[in-house]
Chains A and B, each alone.
Chain A
Amino acid sequence: MLDSSFLDALGLIATANADLYEILWLSVQVSITALLVSVILGFPLGTTLAISDFRGKHVCTTVLNALMGLPPVVVGLLVYLALSRTGPFGVLGLLYTPTAMVIAQVVLITPIIAALTYQVMDDLHREYRELFFSLNIQLPKAVSAYLWDARYSLITTLLAGFGRAISEVGAVMIVGGNIDHLTRVMTTAIALETSKGELAIALALGVVLLALALIVNGLVTAVRTRASRYGYT
């Protein structure tokens, strides 16, 4: 496919029109919002699970880990049924809106954030709990120390969640409807172009999506490098 038609398509996209920016911007907006909500839910959930002891903890962590593999289409279907006009949240009129896409992505990536956070926090807690206990350091203070210590691992957790959100197509297609100028994002646009047989354009859009992922990861790495340099002085 790396022939002239692909290069033409890439050229077309490089000199992009407003439509492409709109689609790209909505992709970023939806995925970042979903990520923020998932972090608000996932960090406390993973941390609480890591530092507490109760019966059935193993079951909880197993379920949480399994939920990392939630099939996007199933999530899309569940959110669709919930938001459909005849569903339990139908009165809110959220189906086929960006909000519906955010909700679907939150359901998808919160388990990822929570499970990875749990893993990081659990390791730290195992290592330091006795030390902190002997020093008579209270749990809240210990947790904030863990969070600070684990900040780089947690950033990687964020990137994992963002990567899943921005690249996902099955769920947002069902709950967003791939409506032009309203709920069309990069992945659903790629699916649409593929279904029109416009494979070169679809591939070019894929390259743009990949570039976006690269930029985001590059920025985070840059911030991280900078922060760690100051961290050691």
Chain B
Amino acid sequence: MTLKKTLQIISIALFVPLESTLAGADSIIVQSSTSTKNSGLYDHILPIVKEETGITVNVVAVGTGQAIKNAQRCDGDVLLVHAKSSEEKFVAQGYGVKRSDLMYNDFIIVGPNNDPAGIHGSKNVSKSLSVIATQRALFVSRGDDSGTHKAELRLWQASGADPAGASGSWYLETGSGMGATLNIAVGMGAYAMTDRSTWMKFGNKGDFKIHVEGDSRLFNQYGVILVNPTKCPNVKTAAGQRFIDWLLSDRGQISIGSYQVNGNQLFFPNAK
């Protein structure tokens, strides 16, 4: 213990000048899903946030499941993820102050151009999944308790197929982020479910294309929550709330909606 303390004192001494300039009072930590990061949304809106509110937003992008766990440990001021039931549970258990709808996009199923399961053009996601299962076509899953993974598991359940038993044969769980999972899918010629934003911005598509889209069950809602300061006294309530208020304001919503990649809008603001 004393050794560790000594270490910390030494490192603090060495880093004080660096950190005092970077982590000021008006900086907050956002625990976030990876999709909002990999899609480039933060690069688009955070400079505007900085300019209009003076808040420096530090994003830790780890996937919804881990982001929620980290926030429960008080390691963040704001939670921005996409798994509504988990978010509501987070608030109900007292870890969060209030959950607000922020924006949405949708999930899609991508796969190789030759479409081994023959699902291209389908608007019925559960039927497509059950075809993939009966054909034993390769499917790569996040397998990491992220928002996308949770949504994927719900859809499998609706399809009647049980991929868990096939884990390691045609159903492959990467336990990684969206981008890493897409890299694996492209490398193996396997189907994968992804949020549309990450896919649009993704740079290693190979010959992959979108096979299934447009099913209402593929709706993907994002929410934002202030971590509860009574549970976590370290939470920067004022700055965190100001950031959330800005996101939900007309200015914030317009900024989210104006983010485009190759002329396509990636996120659709729907704060009430």
User: CA A99 – CA B4 in complex, angstroms?
Assistant: 12
B15 A96 Cβ-Cβ under 8 A = no
Tell me the minimal C-beta distance from B128 to chain A in angstroms.
Answer: 23
- Chain B interface size range: 35 or more
Nearest CB in chain B to that of A102: its residue:
B11
Instruction: Tell me which of A41, A99, A106 contacts B19 (CB under 8 A).
Output: A99
A103 with B11, Cβ < 8 A, contacts A86-B73, A89-B4, A198-B204 known: yes
Question: Contact at B15–A33, with CB atoms within 8 Å?
Answer: yes
If A96-B29, A99-B19, A181-B22 touch, does A106 touch B232 (CB 8 Å cutoff)?
A: no
**Cβ contact within 8 Å between B15 and A182:** no
Of the candidates B4, B23, B29, B202, the one whose C-beta lies within 8 Å of that of A197 is B202
Given contacts A195-B179, A196-B38, contact A177 B58 (CB under 8 A): yes
> Smallest distance from the beta carbon of B100 to chain A beta carbons, Å?
23
State how many residues of chain A have any CB contact under 8 Å with chain B: 36
Could you mark each residue 188-208 of chain B with 1 if its beta carbon is under 8 Å from any beta carbon of chain A, else 0? Answer: 000000000000011111000
Q: Given A89-B8, A96-B29, A102-B15, do A197 and B73 touch, yes or no (CB 8 Å)?
A: no
Given A97-B15, A178-B60, answer yes or no on A84-B23 (Cβ-Cβ < 8 Å).
no
The verdict on A33 contacting B11 (CB below 8 Å), with A195-B34, A197-B204 known, is yes
Q: Does B59 interact with chain A (Cβ within 8 Å)? A: yes
- The residues of A that contact B61 with a CB separation of less than 8 Å are 178
Residues on B with C-beta less than 8 A from A179 are: 29, 58-60
Instruction: A93-B234, A98-B18 given; name 9 further pairs at CB < 8 Å.
Output: A33-B14, A84-B75, A85-B234, A97-B19, A99-B12, A103-B7, A180-B59, A194-B183, A197-B183
Q: Could you tell me which A residues sit within 8 Å of B by CB distance?
A: 29, 33, 37, 40-41, 82, 84-87, 89-90, 92-99, 102-103, 106, 177-182, 194-200
